[in-house]
A and B are shown apart, each in its own frame.
Chain A
Amino acid sequence: DTEVTQTPKHLVMGMTNKKSLKCEQHMGHRAMYWYKQKAKKPPELMFVYSYEKLSINESVPSRFSPECPNSSLLNLHLHALQPEDSALYLCASSQPGANYGYTFGSGTRLTVV
């Protein structure tokens, strides 16, 4: 299995809702990442987990809460989002410190209404 799987593919949520994005990989990668991508822009790094521990938080607002329950799973919990948080949320994985094998999922298209 050489894929990163993200669910759901599409999500519409209200500003008072709580929802979660999920990411799964079975490549044995021990680093997992969340990115946010706005239309026609490059992906922007949000969080990095290395060996299931949060190693980088790129000053992301607390309404985004990441969780790494085990080495194969990465979640992003969403609460009280704003319409400007609407974007494509991408998950990626790799081996920590490796230049190669950086694999992205297809993303979750999030719309906040």
Chain B
Amino acid sequence: TQLLEQSPQFLSIQEGENLTVYCNSSSVFSSLQWYRQEPGEGPVLLVTVVTGGEVKKLKRLTFQFGDARKDSSLHITAAQTGDTGLYLCAARRAGGNQGGKLIFGQGTELSVKP
């Protein structure tokens, strides 16, 4: 059972469309991150959210952390072909000594067609 469930797993859209990717869990997290990974490369951090209800914007990308710190969403406005890639959510469990352990979702493969 995946601790962090991402949906959808695959998304193919046309340039200019909007989309939302979800990251859900039954566990509470102290922080949640979104990474983007291109083929043949390692993931690169996009954003970190730490406060329940927090919203962060990065140009056309909007990230939200759920009020209860159990879920998050990534919304892309007017997608571009350059947004194509694998989007991963990752989280640290709340409480106790979790060290540096990040738990990753299974990823959302986004393809934006011209």
Q: Do A and B bind each other?
A: no
Task: Give the interface of B toward A (CB within 8 A).
Answer: none
